[in-house]
């Protein structure tokens, strides 16, 4: 069973961005979070109790293919959902087809750089109690859900038919969920990834060793930074381990 005390915590959800300022402004409106700057990067500071921010990392390459990770944005009423969809369309979002039937309650959009996300219908029981950022929704197997439960010390709040989900033990912030097989094709490095860090008393190398034992592996994606190690989870989704 996963242990619920862990040396690691999430620092940032990172999005690759061709225009970080524009994308940051878009997502600040979508989530109601505050736009700021940190270390020269555009960041969003949560306003709903979420314990980590969103960082927009500048990249030159444009998005290729469908993302393996997307965000679910919650709404409080039909009017709220309709208004948010129209507001985001006005900021550059567009409707996209990811195989939905058309009778779902949620609306699938892509942000100005093509990153898919869902505007969830009001009354969604699974995301009840979450803030505007309801879920980080990933393509992945049960093995990966168990890995992240162990890595973060977050309990499984859903484990059925190969689908898994975890949430912080104190019930704050979004759910992170994995949809189970079959997995979508992966087009190079993911445009969304997590930055995590061990607690201050834990050495970076020791944490990398622990995560490796849990099923992750170090990877080389062209980043050179003594303060972090790039790894991939059991389904090859990249994440960064930062020095405390």
For helices 204-214 and 142-152, the axis angle rounded to 10 degrees is 150
Residue count of the chain: 244
Rounded distance between C-alpha atoms, residue 150 and residue 104, angstroms? 33
pLDDT at position 103 is 72
pLDDT of residue 5: 47
CA 178 to each of CA 12, 106, 141: distance values in angstroms, whole numbers, following the listed order: 19, 18, 6
The pLDDT score that the predictor gives to residue 221 is 62
The answer on pLDDT for 23 being more than 90 is yes
Question: Which residue do the tokens 């619920």 mark?
Answer: 4
pLDDT band at 40 (very low <50, low <70, confident <90, very high): confident
The model carries a pTM of 0.93
Closest CA to 109 of 130, 131, 87: 87
pLDDT number for residue 39 = 83
In sequence order, the 6+-apart residues with CB closer than 8 A to the CB of 6 are 150, 151, 152, 153
Please answer whether residues 133 and 173 qualify as being in contact, where contact means their C-beta atoms are separated by less than 8 angstroms. Answer: yes
Over residues 74-111, the pLDDT tens digits come to: 999 999 999 999 999 999 999 998 877 777 889 999 99
More confident residue, 155 or 221: 155
Compute CA 25 distance to the chain's CA centroid, rounded to the nearest angstrom: 18
| Confidence grade of residue 154 (pLDDT, cut at 50, 70, 90) | very high
- pLDDT above 60 (res 3): no
* Residue 226 predicted with pLDDT over 70: no
Residue 121 has pLDDT above 50, yes or no: yes
Give the span between the Cα atoms of 227 and 204, in whole angstroms: 9
What is the model's pLDDT at position 224?
57
Q: Which domains does the chain have, with CATH numbers?
A: 8-242 (3.10.180.10)
The span from the CA of 18 to the CA of 9, in Å, is: 27
pLDDT band at 2 (very low <50, low <70, confident <90, very high): very low
Highest mean pLDDT among 24-33, 38-47, 218-227: 24-33
pLDDT at 175: 98
pLDDT at 4 over 70: no
Nearest to 34 by CA among 71, 17, 52, 25: 25
Q: Which two tokens stand for residue 46?
A: 């949560």
């Amino acid at each position: 069973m996963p242990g619920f005390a862990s040396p690691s915590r999430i620092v940032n959800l990172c999005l690759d961005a061709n225009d970080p300022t524009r994308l940051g402004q878009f997502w600040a409106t979508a989530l109601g979070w505050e736009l700021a700057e940190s270390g020269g990067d555009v960041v969003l500071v949560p306003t709903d109790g979420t314990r980590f921010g969103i960082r927009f990392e500048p990249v030159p390459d444009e998005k290729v293919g469908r993302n393996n990770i997307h965000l679910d944005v919650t709404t409080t009423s039909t009017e709220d959902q309709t208004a948010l969809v129209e507001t985001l369309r006005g900021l550059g979002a567009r409707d996209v087809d990811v195989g939905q039937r058309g009778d779902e309650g949620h609306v699938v959009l892509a942000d100005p750089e093509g990153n898919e996300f869902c505007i969830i219908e009001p009354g969604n029981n699974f995301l009840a109690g979450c803030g505007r950022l309801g879920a980080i929704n990933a393509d992945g197997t049960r093995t990966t859900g168990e890995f992240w439960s162990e890595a973060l010390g977050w309990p499984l709040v859903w484990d059925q038919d190969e689908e898994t989900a975890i949430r912080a033990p104190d019930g704050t912030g979004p759910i992170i969920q994995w949809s189970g097989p079959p997995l979508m094709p992966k087009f190079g490095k993911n445009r969304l990834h997590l930055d995590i860090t061990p607690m201050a008393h834990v050495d970076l190398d020791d944490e990398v060793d622990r995560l490796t034992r849990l099923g992750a592996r170090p990877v080389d994606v062209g980043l050179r930074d003594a303060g972090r190690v790039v790894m991939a989870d059991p389904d090859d989704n990249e994440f960064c381990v930062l020095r405390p």
